[in-house]
């Protein structure tokens, strides 16, 4: 590889228990394809080299899987909250696949299959009782995918559900009062069309949050 002026990179081995290792393996193989092709051409083992069409297909698959691999790494973090990121990440993945499919690049059939699988597995992800409230409580995403007033109404409904559920349990007077106070506060803002936060605070909260680098 040094003789060809290419960076020295090792091939990555596939691991059965990690799908991302397959993406990393294919991505690295495509990155060093020239060196691999030259090595196989001079090999005595008579190993068949990939054709130009197959390399293009590999490049398309790598492009399709790239954002999915990034999403997997991001959502698997254990040093920061991740439940609020599920809906935005799935939204971005669907958008990425739609753009790729309309581009008519190599790998479109694979992208369509992946898009179909995501729709089947996460058909009602935007109304999930855990991920939706989590996203609406995160200032980075509130008002981005869902309008502010819709977010407030959705949270009010979820708070009421929790309040109704708590009222059926013994010794939960403190929790009942807490949910009732929060519900009244949200309803007051809705009825009077008041912003939950000031315009200045909203501007600050909607700025992108840069995660600190992990040590």
Confirm whether pTM is higher than 0.85: no
CA–CA distance, 94 with 116 (Å, rounded to integer): 10
Tokens 């803002």 identify what position?
A: 189
Kindly give the confidence (pLDDT) of every residue in the chain, 215 residues in length, as a single tens digit, with 9 standing for 90 and above: 556 666 677 778 877 777 788 888 888 888 888 887 777 777 777 777 788 898 899 999 999 999 999 998 888 888 887 888 888 899 899 999 999 999 888 999 999 999 999 999 888 777 787 888 888 788 777 666 666 556 667 767 777 776 766 666 555 444 444 445 445 545 555 555 445 444 544 554 455 555 544 44
Q: 173-192 and 148-167 are packed helices; what angle lies between their axes, rounded to 10 degrees?
A: 150
The string of DSSP codes covering 45-102 is T-PPPPPHHHHHHHHHHHHHHHHHHHHHHHHT-SSS--GGGHHHHHHHHHHHHHHHHH
CA distances from 200 to 58, 93, 142 (A): 48, 31, 15
8 Å CB contact between 36 and 14:
no
pLDDT recorded at residue 114: 94
Domain ranges for the chain, please list them: 147-205
pLDDT recorded at residue 109: 93
pLDDT recorded at residue 179: 46
């Amino acid at each position: 590889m040094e003789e060809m002026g290419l960076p020295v990179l090792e091939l990555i081995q596939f691991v059965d228990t990690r799908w991302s290792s397959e993406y990393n393996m294919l991505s690295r193989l495509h990155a060093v394809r020239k060196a691999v092709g030259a090595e196989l051409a001079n090999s005595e083992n008579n190993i068949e080299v990939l054709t130009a069409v197959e390399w293009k297909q590999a490049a398309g698959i790598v492009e399709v899987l790239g954002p999915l691999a990034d999403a997997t790494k991001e959502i698997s973090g254990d040093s920061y909250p991740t439940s609020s990121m599920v809906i935005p990440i799935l939204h971005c993945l669907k958008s990425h696949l739609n753009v790729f499919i309309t581009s008519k690049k190599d790998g479109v059939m694979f992208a369509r299959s992946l898009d179909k699988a995501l729709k089947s597995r996460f058909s009602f992800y935007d109304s999930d009782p855990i991920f939706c409230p989590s996203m609406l409580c995160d200032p980075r995403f509130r008002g981005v995918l869902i309008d502010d007033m819709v977010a407030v109404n959705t949270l009010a409904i979820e708070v009421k559900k929790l309040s109704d559920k708590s009222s059926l349990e013994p010794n939960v007077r403190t929790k009942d009062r807490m949910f009732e106070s929060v519900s009244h506060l949200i309803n007051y803002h809705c009825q009077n069309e008041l912003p939950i936060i000031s315009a200045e605070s909203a501007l600050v909260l909607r700025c992108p949050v840069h995660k600190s680098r992990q040590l």
